[in-house]
Amino acid sequence: MVLRDHSDTDRCDRVNKLVEADKATAGWFVEVFPEDDEKLAPEDRWFAEVTENKLVSLSEGKACRVMWCKVNTLAREIPIQKTQILLHQLKDYGPKSTFA
Q: State pLDDT tens for residues 49-89.
A: 999 999 999 999 999 999 999 999 999 999 999 999 999 99
Q: What pLDDT is recorded for position 77?
A: 92
Q: What pLDDT is recorded for position 37?
A: 65
Cα dihedral 89, 55, 17, 60, rounded to 10, equals: -40
Read off the amino acid at residue 29. Answer: F
Helix (H) or strand (E) holding 67: strand 61-68
The SS3 of residue 78 is: coil
Q: What pLDDT is recorded for position 60?
A: 92
* pTM confidence score: 0.86
Q: What radius of gyration, in Å, describes the C-alpha atoms of the chain?
A: 13
pLDDT at residue 43 is higher than 90: no
